[in-house]
């Protein structure tokens, strides 16, 4: 039996709060399957299992905050590895043999038919992707009894849904009824619904696959009185004899229209958002204070010539549909990843008094959250991705970060971080390094600037790139080479 512990989801993480269990005792999990959602000071992240096995029990309840490394669940060996149960001994009553002993049950018959104990485990070698397995758990379908219709016998969502429909007439057990009617939603939306008293099953989801989002929960909050006074959200009930006739409609001037009873962010939601934003701000402040105290920063800046990159991108976008068009950030991120691969002093971690370069480039991207604060999840192996793949992963990363559905690896292992404030009109940004990383790159707004070349003055697209680096690992020579390499790579955008 192994203990599943609260993982470290970042260098500055000291504790985490379990906000949702994505499995239940008796469920079979594979290494990499999502098992819980954990709320850190920065965001809500999904954590995965580190081994195969069966969930034996939970050691903490939803809402419990525990230190990193604290056991939160136990996972047993797989059913095939469990020792066989001892044969039951027939009870002796007055020297007679029990009637049950005359007809001994086989091991298979003696095993209780409980889906959480032995059912729901796929057959050895069966291919069941984690999302499909989670759907099967939610719908109460035993994937071990399904014949996969996918490639190589893989069990698909359609297989699970057909099995669920075929057994739809069977009433669910009381203990599993909530699982059968579970609503797709993010932990943030569920937490907000609980705080505001919103019934999620009646909310219409507008997110991916009909998932209920934070905005859907807020829209479902009953409208409150305009005065905002206590009891304003409760309709006044007057006896019929005292009912007043409706007042005649009064014409209103433009801009002075009567208030509409539209759902507004209630005080509880604002307080919860403010509390979360304040907690996030404190966590970021503590980490940045540590960074400035421990890391001897040095700063460099250069102006990138983006004439060739912008011309190539505009020509390429003319051949693409609108949804697949590239943006300048994709080119800047890819050039940064390639440069980090070539200049390894910028890519890695400073831990235990020594620098450990990383063989992979996991590019952290600073993402602003709706209620304030930022997180910097990673685009994994960014140097190996095509521009299209990088764009797709970047969109998914931003969406999950703002919906509170980041995964542990996306927050735990960025090897170098990029911040881009160009969309806000900022022309240059000098970042503070995220420890234990050793470098941060900043990009400003892409501008048309006067540019002198070969004695001729013209107008070119350009942007300011900055580098904040750790003087314990590199110096201005290596930092300058890194920025110069980014500029060189952008001169041949077709090779990115």
The answer to whether 361 and 340 are in contact (CB under 8 A) is yes
Distance separating alpha carbons of residues 116 and 144, to the nearest angstrom? 13
The pLDDT score that the predictor gives to residue 262 is 42
Spell out a b/e string for 194-209, using b for 16 or more CB atoms within 10 Å of the CB, else e: eebebebeebebebee
Question: Helix 476-490 crosses helix 328-342 at what angle (to 10 degrees)?
Answer: 130
Q: How confident is the model at residue 225 (pLDDT cuts 50, 70, 90)?
A: very low
Helix (H, G, I), strand (E, B) or coil at 99: helix
Q: How confident is the model at residue 215 (pLDDT cuts 50, 70, 90)?
A: confident
The answer to whether 164 and 141 are in contact (CB under 8 A) is yes
End-to-end CA distance of the chain: 48
Query: What would the CATH number be for the domain defined by 297-495?
Result: 3.30.559.10
Distance separating alpha carbons of residues 128 and 149, to the nearest angstrom? 11
**Separation of CA 445 from chain center:** 28
Fold of the CATH domain 2-82+111-180 = OB fold (Dihydrolipoamide Acetyltransferase, E2P) (2.40.50)
Q: 146: Cβ–Cβ under 8 A, 6 or more apart, which residues?
A: 155, 159, 160, 163
* Lowest mean pLDDT, pick from 60-74, 192-206, 262-276, 402-416: 262-276
Query: Parallel, antiparallel, or unpaired: how do β-strands 92-93 and 96-97 relate?
Result: antiparallel
* Helix, strand, coil % over all residues of the chain, rounded to 5: 35, 20, 45
What is the pLDDT averaged over residues 313-318?
95
The pLDDT score that the predictor gives to residue 56 is 85
Helix (H, G, I), strand (E, B) or coil at 339: helix
* Lowest mean pLDDT, pick from 33-37, 250-254, 367-371: 250-254
- At 165, list the tokens: 């429909």
What is the pLDDT averaged over residues 441-454?
93
% the chain with pLDDT above 70: 68
What is the pLDDT averaged over residues 80-86?
53
The pLDDT score that the predictor gives to residue 349 is 95
Query: What would the CATH number be for the domain defined by 187-219?
Result: 4.10.320.10
Q: Which span out of 103-107, 237-241, 268-272, 434-438 was modeled with the highest average pLDDT?
A: 434-438
Distance separating alpha carbons of residues 187 and 406, to the nearest angstrom? 11
Question: In terms of pLDDT, which residue wins out, 385 or 152?
Answer: 385
The pLDDT score that the predictor gives to residue 492 is 96
User: CB 461: neighbour CB atoms within 10 A?
Assistant: 20
- At 56, list the tokens: 């034996």
The pLDDT score that the predictor gives to residue 493 is 96
Q: Where are the domains of the chain?
A: 2-82+111-180, 187-219, 297-495
- Asked if the model's pLDDT at residue 293 lies above 70, the reply is yes
Q: Which span out of 21-25, 75-79, 221-225, 408-412 was modeled with the highest average pLDDT?
A: 21-25
- Asked if the model's pLDDT at residue 170 lies above 60, the reply is no
pLDDT, tens only, 238-291: 444 444 444 444 444 444 444 444 444 455 555 555 565 666 677 778 888 889
The pLDDT score that the predictor gives to residue 385 is 95
The pLDDT score that the predictor gives to residue 433 is 96
- At 327, list the tokens: 């943006």
Overall residue count recorded for the chain in this entry? 496
pLDDT, tens only, 343-358: 999 999 999 899 999 9
Q: How confident is the model at residue 487 (pLDDT cuts 50, 70, 90)?
A: very high
Which of 301, 383, 303 has its CA nearest to residue 336?
Answer: 383
The mean of the pLDDT values for the chain is: 76
Q: What is the pTM of this model?
A: 0.56
């Amino acid at each position: 039996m192994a203990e599943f512990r609260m993982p470290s989801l970042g260098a500055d993480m000291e504790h985490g709060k379990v906000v949702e269990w994505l499995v239940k005792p008796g469920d079979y999990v594979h290494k990499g399957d999502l098992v819980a959602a954990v709320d850190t000071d920065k965001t809500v992240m999904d954590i995965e299992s580190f081994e195969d096995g069966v969930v034996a029990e939970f050691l903490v309840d939803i809402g419990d905050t525990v230190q990193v490394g604290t056991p939160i669940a136990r996972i047993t060996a797989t059913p095939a590895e469990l020792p066989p149960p001892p044969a039951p001994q027939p009870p002796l009553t007055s020297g007679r043999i029990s009637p049950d002993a005359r007809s001994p049950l086989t091991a298979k018959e003696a095993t209780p038919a409980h889906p959480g104990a032995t059912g729901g485990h796929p057959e050895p070698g069966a291919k069941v992707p984690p999302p499909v397995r989670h759907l099967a758990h939610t719908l109460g379908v035993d994937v071990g009894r399904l014949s996969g219709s996918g490639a190589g016998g893989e069990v698909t969502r359609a297989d699970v849904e057909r099995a669920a429909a075929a057994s739809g007439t069977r009433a669910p057990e009381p203990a599993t009824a909530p699982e059968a009617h579970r609503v797709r939603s993010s932990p943030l939306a569920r937490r907000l619904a609980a705080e505001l008293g919103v019934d999620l099953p009646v909310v219409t989801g507008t997110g991916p696959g009909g998932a209920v989002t934070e905005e859907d929960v807020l829209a479902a909050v009953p409208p409150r009185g305009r005065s905002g006074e206590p009891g304003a959200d409760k309709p006044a009930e007057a006896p019929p004899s005292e009912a007043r006739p409706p007042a005649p409609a009064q014409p209103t001037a433009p801009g002075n229209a009567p208030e509409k009873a539209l759902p507004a962010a209630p005080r509880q939601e604002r307080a919860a958002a403010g509390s979360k934003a304040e907690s996030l701000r404190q966590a970021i402040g503590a980490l940045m204070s540590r960074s400035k105290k421990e890391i001897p920063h040095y700063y460099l800046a250069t102006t990138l010539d983006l004439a060739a990159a912008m011309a190539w991108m505009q020509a390429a976008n003319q051949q693409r549909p609108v949804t697949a068009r590239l943006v300048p950030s994709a080119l800047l991120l890819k050039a940064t990843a390639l440069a980090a691969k070539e200049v390894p002093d910028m890519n890695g971690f400073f831990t235990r008094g020594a620098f450990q370069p990383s063989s992979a480039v996991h590019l952290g991207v600073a993402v602003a959250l709706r209620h304030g604060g930022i997180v910097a999840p990673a685009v994994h192996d960014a140097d190996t991705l095509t521009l299209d793949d990088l764009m797709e992963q970047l969109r998914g990363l931003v969406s999950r970060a703002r919906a509170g559905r980041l995964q542990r690896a996306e927050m735990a292992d960025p090897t170098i971080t990029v911040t881009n404030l160009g969309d806000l009109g900022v022309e240059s940004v000098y970042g503070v390094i995220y420890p234990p990383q050793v470098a941060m790159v900043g990009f400003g707004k892409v501008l048309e600037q006067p540019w002198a070349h070969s004695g001729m003055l013209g107008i070119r697209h350009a942007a300011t790139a900055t580098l904040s680096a750790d003087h314990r690992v590199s110096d201005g020579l290596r930092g300058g080479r890194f920025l110069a390499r980014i500029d060189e790579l952008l001169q041949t955008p077709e090779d990115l």
